Structure 1
Amino acid sequence: MSADTQGPATPGPATADLTGGGVRGGSTFGALRDQLQEAAAAFAGGPDALAGILLGLVDDVDRAVREPLEIFPVCHHSPASALAMARRLREKQPKVVYLELCEDMAPLLTELRNCRLPVAVQAFAGDVDGFPADWAPLSVVAPITEASAEYQAVAYALDTPGVELVLVDRSCDHVFQWDPRADRPGQRAEDAEPPDREEAALHGEAVGVEIGDLRPRFAELEEHLLRHGKVRHWSEWWHQYVEVPLGDSDHDAYRQVMFLIGSLFRRLAPGDGARLRVDEDRERYMWTRIREHLAATGTDPGECVYVCGAFHAAGRVEEFGVAGTDTFTISPRTATTWQYGLIPSSHSAIEGQFGLAPGSVSIAATQWTKSLRRTRVKPYRLAGQAGTRKPAATKTVAGRPAAVAAEPAAADRLSGFLRRPPVLDALDEAELLGWSVEIVRAARRNGYLASTADAIAVFETSILLAGMRDRAKPTPYDFQDAAVTCIEKDSVPGRRDVRRLAEIMLGGDRIGQVGYESLPPLARDVYERLAPLELNLQQRGVRRALLDMTSRPELRACSDVLWMLRRLMPHGAARPIMGERRLGERSVQESWDLALGTHQRALIELGYQGVSLEQVLEQKLRAQAYGPQATAATVLAAVEDATLYLSGRRLADELGGHALKVLAAERTADGAPEVLRRVRTLLAYYRTVEPSLPPWIEEFAKAGYAHYCTLLPTAFRDEDATVRQVAAMLGFLFSMESLALSLGCDRAQLELAVAQSHPEDAAKTALLWAARVQLGTLSRAELRARCAALLDNPLVVDAYPRYLNGFVHALEPVPGLADVVVEAVSHAFGRLPDTVLLPWLPRLISTLRSGAADLAPLLIREAGRVFPARLPALDTWVPPWRAPRPEKAAGPARPGSGVRRGAALLTAYPAACDAVAGLLGCDEDWAAAAPAPPGAALTRRHPATSTAVAALLADG
């Protein structure tokens, strides 16, 4: 690192005066500056970049301390920061609190009193306008815990009369305007640093607003600190060397140390990164907003507090301070519509999103409780918040909190802090012993074979590890390592390992909850509509709901809501145990496992998209049908869901009409199997329920018939088109043929398409033969002869299994060929050599299981009809295709023989004769004709018909 980029040799305009002798001469930290300069010279052998960096740190601290508007630097979810904030607020009683938080989230903060912390303030945008479409949906969250300085500031400002809370950070819209992805349009939203841990699921893919993010961005510096601090990760280093020492420091020492740390990490951060540019723009934004508010209200800066991260407290931009320049122009927001609300958060979700060590937030919460007991500082809590009591009223003077007298300039507390050796806490044997006993008890409950000896081992190992790391008192992290070493052996018997058990024991993964009053209208509507279930659905965990719609008809409305929730929410939120909902079917009894409290975030985000479940479902179905990747199959799926979940046919008819356009634009057979399945399902439903078919499905059958006839020859030749897809196209044509022909289609179009098809693949060739049998251009006898010729040809016998694959798929369009397929498979087992048969059997099984699972019953049923049911009968069984066929008498029939036979039969069966006469349109009384025998006139008038009827009756 060179002085040209990081040292004060090239200061910005805002810091030029700070490096001059005038400021140094009157500085509070003159003695510290001289000591650091001498140390740098002695260490480096002369003035260099190190001296510039060290002196720059002191300049940054001096500048922040001298600022008329008190800057309160904080660290993200730090108990020491929260403790110092609570102490300072009761001491100073500021009139205005400026907080580093997205300014458009301000209206949501009053709703915190209805929640159980931790929760996160969220901004959500489902439809974007001004950002790349593939970024949607956009989500920004700012998690808040009780052991955080920002919560102390919010609680103080909202519950103290006469105090104003002003959020000064960039808006949520600017968060994405300044996102580095905006400079790289090709990068997708999920490609930019996704959360690493599964525990971040409570926040989803949201972008976290970092309030007081304090971590080295110089990798070598962090590695150096961790190695010499004898710790594993940054959270442990901060707890040991900053959190604990600052817990008992006074206000001036706390501020100066935090300024120093922020300045150090700021000056050692990469100087040419996009992240640093965003950080500087945030500082310009916040100071611009602060000066605007001071100018508009005329507030004295001495009566205000500016709460921000220590990294931003030591900023060097021109706009820094109340006397900074006003050269920063805030860009307007985009046209994106943002929705705001509160979502539940958890300690593990915060750790996962912000890259903290597992268990660090839980340990911080425990440290916060211990610090409050030790220091007896009274924290601020919002009145009415879950689990808290209403705080005592704050004394006010002239309508506002009592302010302290003007304070003298802060003395140099930094020098003493840096020279003071670390305070070694005495070993608290009772606390460590309690930890050791509790971890053994928790391990035994989770399947570990732990005993009292393990508790003693954990106790002694914790002390040993602390001594190896130069600590007199074991920290929670030392205890975790000792527990893992002494208890966890080769495997984890339960769901949780020992490290996770230690995290739960030391603080637990506390999960927040949003109160009913703070929920969006849709979420409250869901709870109200499910009230007849008489379950506490806001509580976390799984609740079993039993619905008997026969005895309680009012539960049908609850069933409708639950099925929509299953369609809209993640898996597990509403899971049916008994009962199903399909087209034309409704269960009279249902059983559900409901976990709406666990998935409260997903329910809240549904509320950002509409005011009712029906509205949100309609929006999603439209997006599914009209999306750029929509196919005819997906549109038909949307039609089915609209019919299944929404009453009325308006949306289904609209989406069905759109399916026609999507189908006409398709040029491949990729979606043919799904289209065939869904069209058959919808046709069966409408024919059963509706008095007539909807116009759109008639048009779809007509257009699909012509469309697939056009694509059929190409699909037979296309190597990318699978046998299953071509079979689905033929299945659509044959199953929709009667409906299409009644609507004006021409069967000659299908015949020409089949005649123009010339496949080269063996499976498609067999499929074409089956289609020709269905059309009548190829007889069954000719088909059997071709199959036999394949087996007789030694050059083709190896390809016979591929032909059988085509015959199996041919049962989709031509199910009547099941007997021929059984016969062909039987020939294969009887005549194919083992070298061909055995490798083909796994392929046949996989084909029937994956691609033709619904066709297997046809083969099984036909085989059960053909083959003998008993084993002894197998010895004398003769396959039907080998049984001798009765030969008909050759030679032409004698003239008049058919007429005489028909007359005799008609006379013997007069009722049948009357029925046939009615079908032929004969009204005369044939039996009254004399002297001719009964039926003679009819047989003479229609000799050919009489001969055909006689032949049929004789065969029967």
Structure 2
Amino acid sequence: MSGPFAALRAQLLAAAEALTGGPAGLPEILAGMVDDVDHVLREPVEIFPVCHHSPASALALVRRLRARPPKVIYLELGEDLAPLLTELRHCRLPVALQAFAAEPDGLPAAAAPLSLVVPLTEASAEYQAIAYALADPGVELVLVDRSTDHVFQGRPEPDRPGEAVGVEIGGLRPRLAELEEHLLRHGRVRHWSEWWDQYVEQPLAGADHATYRQVMVLIGSLFRRLAPPGTRRHATDEDRERHMWTRIRAHLDATGADRADCLYVCGAFHAASRLPEAGSHPAAPGVTITARTATRWRYGLVPASHSAIEAQFGLAPGSVSLAAATWERTLRRTGLTPFTPAGRRAVRRRLPEAPAPPATAAATVTDQLTGYLRRPAAPDGLDEEELRGWCVQLVRLARRNGYPAGTADAIAVFETSVLLAGLRGRARPTPYDFQDAAVTCVEKERVPGRRDVRRLCEILLGGDRTGQVGYAALPPLARDVHDRLAPLGFDLERRAVQRALLDLTARPELAACSDLLWMLRYLLPDRVVRPITGSRRLGAASLRESWDLDLGRHQRAVIELGYEGVTVEQVLEQRLRRAVRQPGATAATALRAVEHSLLFLRSPRLTDDLGARAVELLAAERTVDDASTVLRRLRRLLAHHRATAPALPAWCERFVAEGYAHYCTLLPTAFAGEETGARQVGAMLGFLFTLEGLAPAFGCDRTQLELAVRQSHPRDPVKIALLWAARHQLGLLPLADLRARVDDLLGNPLVLPAVPQYVSGFVLALEPVPRLAPFVVEMLSQAFARLPDPVLLPWLPRLIATLRTHAAELVPVVTREAGRTFPATLAELDVWTAPWHARAEPGAARTTAGSGAAAAGALLAAHPAATDAVAALLGCAGEWSPRGERCS
């Protein structure tokens, strides 16, 4: 091999041969890395390798753009995100470019909603390139990476549907676990972010243009050659590279741009690509880019944060914050001014020009790697003033968060930082050394405050910054929300909870704000807008309301709402219609949507459509699992329509008729089936008996209900009690007969353990048959009066547990009835007579008891053998009298 890297290549091959017992592929890897660097530097279109959120990359790109401004910048970024870039002028970083699709068309529907985000920070090379192009109209910025639609076409379904897919620009990390472990161990660091900061960021922060490019390509080539082949990620990387170079060549052919005036900013991993399709040569083979699906994508900017970026890309906590601190510290030290989306020319006049790189990179390639790799990095000396400032500010923060820190702790942190840096072979303590020292000296045994010391260090050195999207860059819906809430007089971009007080009587114009807040409450997470006082219910209106508003810190939720429509009302209507049309929709779901349409939108057309869908869903149901919910919501809706309209809507009439026939048909099966609970059966009866007076007007026949009750034969004690209550309501079981059955239950020792379940059934029956409340009180009183303590005391816990399980919300009805029945004072108790005792006639009671004894005697006389056998077992002798009585 000839060329500027021939000597370096020969040295590496000799070193590989000198390593006896080394990997067989080591010479090929070392030589290939040098060949990759030489290949990239000879490419006519200058390739600028970067790393995601790397201050060194951003600084190097700023120097390159100021020294020799290009006319065309090709950027590794989704080609469909280009219209969003101009909106960055109105934002405070970090923010993220987002593509959102609520309803995929041609993509996996199970992963919906689809979301892709590309976070940007000021300390990132891609943002500096974008800002440079936005500030200079003469620069053309071309995004060449795959579109969002293409990203999801080749992506497997995510484990968690709706999770946002993050896209890195220049992600650079070893993909071989053994290599990363080796680097961390020998570098004496804990995680990859610290290794990268120590051995790449700091040495390259002040490197010249040629050295930076060659080192970054060398690192990208190493990681690429050691990446496991044949993986899905490997194939995805190659697809991206083919796509990007195809777009670059197509643009060069279409515009005729001079390749010497073009700059290709991409990840160092992609920069070292040796695919046949890589390169700007017109003869390089291209790929056929597939068409996009019919999915409708919506685009916008959303706030991001350092912690969110770290979590999304698996970075160490605090690494992005520390990178931002390094970026700002280096800018202050070097006097370099970064680019902003507006005013690049004015900024450039304030700075000296950096030495310009050669105009034709391929013609003047020189070997900068050999000298860089031979000489050890010149470590910065200890900056005592900077370290001392960190220690003092940390102690101040620690005391503010509840730590008993003082001057001694600041001194200890200072000395420990220097000691740790020396043990790790560093002359100057890094922020990571300072963190470790702070945790050791300040945190001690426990964390009394809300934040631990490591988090305090992150706040001190950079903090978890959260970006903000300006008003002009918001989608129409978000701007509409800000405009409509303007009468409240709050700064909705403020990052704090603000209390809004709405006196709707004194200021009726705030009613529109109240309506909007209630809709936002329904559509957004609870923490965004939260009512403190006031409510929104059918038939009730609040005169005064108070709200906690936190729209500034949750701007992203409002922005993503804007991807679904232009106004809040439109989004709410779409969600309600979608809720009743989804595969798992039920009649209860549809009734809930009807109620919300009445509360928030007040649209008769929408309400009728949702109500008609509720009728369809009820007719198609084959279970009664939601019967209690259907009953509760239908009662509210009927009461509302009766109070606000002269007649019920047509859908209500059809729902009543359909529900009456539906539940009558399923009632016998529900009584007998074990899979149907007693609560559902009680709700079915409640529906039928509540509408018993209304249903015949809509064509229903009461005979159908009577037949359904007669055909029901339950076995569960709870359902038996419900059936008795239903028969009583229909007039098939008089109250006297019902009392007689309960007396038999209490007098039968074999049935006594099941009495709590019968009680629970009667309590459940209070919903369909509320007039049974006095009877339930009577039954419980009889039980407490007649049962002996050895039976009653073990029976009470089971009774309480059964009532809590089956009828917790109906027990207060029994309690109120008992309060009306029993005397309120002890004096009244002495002369009080239970109503059921007062109603009973003594003669009738004796007749009833005599008839019961006669019936028992007749039963024993009809089966004398059984009686004789029991007498023999007990040792009783006797004979039968002529009247059929056994005499002992």
Structure-1-length-normalised TM-score = 0.85
Q: After TM superposition, list the pairs within 5 Å mapping 1:44-55 onto structure 2.
A: 44-45=20-21, 48-55=24-31
- 1:488-511 CA-to-partner distances (Å, cap 9, x unmatched) read 244332321111111111101111
Q: What's the counterpart of residue 169 of structure 1? A: 145
Change in Cα spacing, 1:491 to 1:741, as seen in structure 2 (3 Å) is farther
Q: What's the counterpart of residue 272 of structure 2? A: 314
Q: Do the aligned partners of 2:760 and 2:807 also contact (CA within 8 Å) in 1?
A: no
Aligned residues: 839
- 1:519-540 CA-to-partner distances (Å, cap 9, x unmatched) read 1111111111111101101222
Give, in angstroms, the shift of residue 831 of structure 1: 4.6
Does 1:64 find its partner at 2:40? yes
- 1:44-90 CA-to-partner distances (Å, cap 9, x unmatched) read 35882111111111111111111111000000000000000000011
Q: What's the counterpart of residue 655 of structure 1? A: 610
Give, in angstroms, the shift of residue 826 of structure 1: 2.6
Matched position secondary structure for 1:585: coil
1:258 aligned to which of 193, 216, 229? 216
Matched position secondary structure for 1:554: helix
Give, in angstroms, the shift of residue 302 of structure 1: 1.0
Give, in angstroms, the shift of residue 887 of structure 1: 7.6
Q: After TM superposition, list the pairs within 5 Å mapping 1:308-707 onto structure 2.
A: 308-323=266-281, 325-383=284-342, 391-392=347-348, 405-406=359-360, 408-707=363-662
Q: What's the counterpart of residue 52 of structure 2? A: 76
Q: After TM superposition, list the pairs within 5 Å mapping 1:205-354 onto structure 2.
A: 205-323=163-281, 325-354=284-313
Q: What's the counterpart of residue 190 of structure 1? A: 160
Q: Do the aligned partners of 2:746 and 2:752 also contact (CA within 8 Å) in 1?
A: yes
Deviation larger for 337-346 or 466-475: 466-475
Letter in 1 for 2:347: P
Change in Cα spacing, 1:835 to 1:299, as seen in structure 2 (3 Å) is farther
Q: After TM superposition, list the pairs within 5 Å mapping 1:85-164 onto structure 2.
A: 85-164=61-140
Matched position secondary structure for 2:733: coil
Does 1:34 find its partner at 2:4? no
- 1:416-460 CA-to-partner distances (Å, cap 9, x unmatched) read 222222322211122112111211111111112222222222222
Q: What's the counterpart of residue 810 of structure 2? A: 855
Give, in angstroms, the shift of residue 821 of structure 1: 1.2
Letter in 2 for 1:336: T
Give, in angstroms, the shift of residue 552 of structure 1: 1.0
Matched position secondary structure for 1:582: coil
Letter in 2 for 1:269: A
Letter in 1 for 2:550: A
Change in Cα spacing, 1:797 to 1:318, as seen in structure 2 (3 Å) is same
Distance 1:888 1:30 in 2: 124
Change in Cα spacing, 1:792 to 1:46, as seen in structure 2 (3 Å) is closer
Q: Percent identity?
A: 66
Distance 2:802 2:294 in 1: 52
Letter in 1 for 2:718: A
Give, in angstroms, the shift of residue 239 of structure 1: 0.5
Q: What's the counterpart of residue 712 of structure 1? A: 667
Distance 1:837 1:63 in 2: 93
1:814 aligned to which of 743, 764, 769? 769
Gaps of 5+ in 1: 1-23, 182-186, 192-203, 396-401, 891-956
Q: What's the counterpart of residue 867 of structure 2? A: none
Q: Do the aligned partners of 1:458 and 1:486 also contact (CA within 8 Å) in 2?
A: yes
Structure-2-length-normalised TM-score = 0.91
Distance 1:841 1:60 in 2: 83
Letter in 1 for 2:253: A
Q: What's the counterpart of residue 776 of structure 1? A: 731
Change in Cα spacing, 1:462 to 1:849, as seen in structure 2 (3 Å) is farther
Change in Cα spacing, 1:889 to 1:313, as seen in structure 2 (3 Å) is closer
Gaps of 5+ in 2: 846-888
Give, in angstroms, the shift of residue 837 of structure 1: 5.3
- 1:590-617 CA-to-partner distances (Å, cap 9, x unmatched) read 1000111111111111111111111100
Distance 1:230 1:475 in 2: 13
Distance 2:781 2:504 in 1: 51
Give, in angstroms, the shift of residue 875 of structure 1: 4.8
Distance 2:570 2:603 in 1: 14
Distance 1:562 1:162 in 2: 46
- 1:658-680 CA-to-partner distances (Å, cap 9, x unmatched) read 11110011111101010000000
Q: Do the aligned partners of 1:383 and 1:390 also contact (CA within 8 Å) in 2?
A: no
Matched position secondary structure for 1:76: coil
Matched position secondary structure for 1:162: coil
Give, in angstroms, the shift of residue 871 of structure 1: 3.3
Change in Cα spacing, 1:58 to 1:776, as seen in structure 2 (3 Å) is same
Matched position secondary structure for 1:44: coil
- 1:515-572 CA-to-partner distances (Å, cap 9, x unmatched) read 1011111111111111110110122221111111111111001111000000111111
Q: What's the counterpart of residue 895 of structure 1? A: none
Q: What's the counterpart of residue 879 of structure 2? A: none
Distance 1:525 1:47 in 2: 64
Q: After TM superposition, list the pairs within 5 Å mapping 1:724-803 onto structure 2.
A: 724-803=679-758
Distance 1:825 1:30 in 2: 101
Matched position secondary structure for 1:53: helix
Matched position secondary structure for 1:494: coil
Q: Do the aligned partners of 1:798 and 1:836 also contact (CA within 8 Å) in 2?
A: no
Deviation larger for 546-555 or 487-496: 487-496
Q: What CA RMSD, in Å, does the superposition of the two structures yield over aligned residues?
A: 2.1
Matched position secondary structure for 2:468: coil
Q: Do the aligned partners of 2:521 and 2:529 also contact (CA within 8 Å) in 1?
A: yes
Change in Cα spacing, 1:871 to 1:215, as seen in structure 2 (3 Å) is farther
Distance 1:210 1:188 in 2: 17
Give, in angstroms, the shift of residue 406 of structure 1: 4.3
Letter in 2 for 1:49: G
Distance 1:855 1:489 in 2: 55
Matched position secondary structure for 1:737: coil
Distance 2:494 2:346 in 1: 24
Distance 1:29 1:122 in 2: 43
Change in Cα spacing, 1:422 to 1:855, as seen in structure 2 (3 Å) is same
Matched position secondary structure for 2:641: helix
Give, in angstroms, the shift of residue 872 of structure 1: 4.4
Change in Cα spacing, 1:45 to 1:790, as seen in structure 2 (3 Å) is closer
Give, in angstroms, the shift of residue 107 of structure 1: 0.9
Distance 1:506 1:884 in 2: 85
Q: Do the aligned partners of 1:574 and 1:595 also contact (CA within 8 Å) in 2?
A: yes
Q: What's the counterpart of residue 882 of structure 2? A: none
